[in-house]
Amino acid sequence: MAEFIPSRQVQALPANYFTSIEHKIDTVVKQGIDVIHLHTGSPDQPTPKPIIEAMNQAASLHENQGYPTAGGKRSFKEAISTFYRREYGVTIDPETEVTVFDGATVAISALPQTLLNPGDVMLTTDPGYPLYYVCPKLAGARTYGIPVRAEDDFLPDYRTIPADILEKAHLLMLNYPNNPTGAMATEEFFADTVRFSRKHHIPVVHDFAYAAFGFDGKRPISFLQTPGAKEQGIEVYTLSKTYNMAGFRIGFAVGNASMIRALSTFHDIDHSDVPSPIQDAGSAALLGAQQSVQQLCALYERRRNVLVASMRAIGWTVRAPKGSFFCWFKVPTGYTSESFADALLERAHVAVAPGAGFGTHGDQFVRVGLLEPEERLREAAERIKASGILNEAPVKN
C-alpha cells in the first residue's frame, strides 16, 4: 500500500497527550489487573432523562431532518440567551452574540485560526489544558504560558509577561474553574483581566467548561459578569460537563459580536453544524429544571472530600480544589510527575495524569479526577498506602 506524507502542519503536531496515557494504562489492564481510573476527564454519570426524551421527540420532527441552520437554531440561541440572563444576569443578543458548534474542543481549535496570524502568540496559563498549547500551531502561532502558583491560587499575574511576548500577543485563553488545578477565578482577577485586555487590545476567551462546579458554597462566576467583559471577549460553554452530555458534542460561545462573527464564519466552512435534535436537547437542558446540576455538583464535592481526606489519612499532604472535577496533587519529594504516576500505576494500580503534560510548571503535580464512586476513591488511597510508595525514596535511574 502506498504511503503518503502528511502536510508539514500535521507533522508538527504532537501526539495527543491523553492518548499516550491511555496506551500505558491499557498495557496494565490487558494483564487482567484492575486499575482505578483517576486520570480520565470523561463524566461517569448518565445524561438526565428529560434531556434524552427531548432529543428523541425532536428526532421524529420533519423540520429537524434536513441540514441544520448555520450558526445554530434560533430556538437554541434564544435558550442560551435566557440561560445566561437567568444564571448570570448577563444580557446576550441571540442574533449577534451567540454561535453554536459541535463541542467546545472545536471552538478551542478554531479560535487561534480565527484570530491569530503566523508569528502571533496566544497567552494562557502554565499549567493549563494541553490543547491550549497545541491548537495555535494550526495557525502558525505559538503559546506562551504565564506561570501560575498555588500561593497565588493559580491565577496569572499579567505583569510577569515579558515585553517581547506581550508585543506579539493577540489572544488570551483562560479557564476557570480550572483544568487541571481546580482553581476558581475571583471578581478582582476578572476585572484585572478586562483592564489588561483593554490596555493591550488583546481579545479574551474564557473556557467555562466547569461552570457548574464550585465547592464550599462558592459558585463559579462568568467572565461576562465583569463590567466591560463583553466588549473585550467571549465565553465558551459546553453542555458536556454540566448536563453529562459529553457524547452529544454540543457547545456554544457568547459575547463580543466581532469575535462571534469571526468564529461563526470559520465554523461554517470548517465544520458541519450541530444536528437539530441535539440542539433541541440542549434547549431542554438549559431551560429545564436544574436540580440534576445541583445534585451533580454535590456529588463531586462529596467525592472531593472523600478523596482528599483519604489521601491525607495515609500521609499524602494534598490541597483540596475549589471547583471543577479535578484535584491537583503535589507529588512527594524526589519524584517527577511522570515517575510518580508510573509508580502509582505499576505498584498501586491507580492511574493518574502526570502534570508535565499540562505545562512545564506542572511537573511536580499529578491530576486526579473525581469521576469514580466514593468507594473506589477510598480503595485508591488504601492501595497507595499498601504499596509503600509514600514511605520510600524514589529509585534514581
pLDDT 10s digits, 44-99: 999 999 999 999 999 999 999 998 888 899 999 999 999 999 999 999 999 999 99
**Where along the chain do its domains lie?**
8-46+291-391, 49-287
8-46+291-391 against 49-287: fold identical = no
State which amino acid sits at residue 321. P
**Residue 395 confidence (pLDDT) above 80:** no
Span 343-362, pLDDT tens digits: 999 999 999 999 999 999 99
pLDDT for the residue 12: 81
Residue 350 backbone phi and psi in degrees, to 5: -120, 125
Share of the chain above pLDDT 70, in %: 99
Q: How high is the mean pLDDT of the chain?
A: 95
pLDDT for the residue 396: 61
**Residue 341 confidence (pLDDT) above 60:** yes
Say if residues 205 and 174 touch (Cβ distance below 8 Å).
yes
Query: What is the C-alpha separation between 304 and 298, in angstroms, rounded?
Result: 10
The three cell numbers of residue 57 are 421527540
The three cell numbers of residue 234 are 467571549
Alpha helices in the chain (DSSP H): 8-11, 17-29, 49-59, 74-88, 104-115, 131-134, 163-168, 187-200, 229-232, 239-242, 257-270, 276-287, 291-313, 337-343, 374-387
CATH architecture label of 49-287: 3-Layer(aba) Sandwich (3.40)
Say if residues 91 and 97 touch (Cβ distance below 8 Å).
no
Cα dihedral: 104, 108, 110, 112 (round 10) = 160
Residue 82, CA distances (Å) to 100, 290, 294 in order: 15, 14, 19
Residue 146, CA distances (Å) to 23, 195, 300 in order: 30, 17, 29
Q: Average of pLDDT values for 311-330?
A: 97
Q: How confident is the model at residue 397 (pLDDT cuts 50, 70, 90)?
A: low
Please name the helix (run of DSSP H) or strand (run of DSSP E) that holds residue 233, with its range, or none. strand 233-238
CATH architecture label of 8-46+291-391: Alpha-Beta Complex (3.90)
Residue 104: name the closest of 41, 56, 55 by CA: 41
**Residue 268 confidence (pLDDT) above 90:** no
The count of C-alpha atoms lying within 13 angstroms of the C-alpha of 81, restricted to the half-sphere facing its C-beta, is 16
Q: Average of pLDDT values for 290-317?
A: 97
Judged by DSSP in three states, 51 sits in: helix
Judged by DSSP in three states, 326 sits in: strand
pLDDT for the residue 329: 98
Span 168-223, pLDDT tens digits: 999 999 999 999 999 999 999 999 999 999 999 999 999 999 999 999 999 999 99
Say if residues 262 and 129 touch (Cβ distance below 8 Å).
no
Q: Alpha carbon 306 to chain centroid distance? A: 23
Alpha helices in 60-100 (DSSP H): 74-88
pLDDT for the residue 103: 87
pLDDT for the residue 272: 78
Residues listed for the chain = 397
- Top-confidence residue, 393 or 145: 145
Q: Which residue has the cell 493591550?
A: 200
DSSP state of 45: S
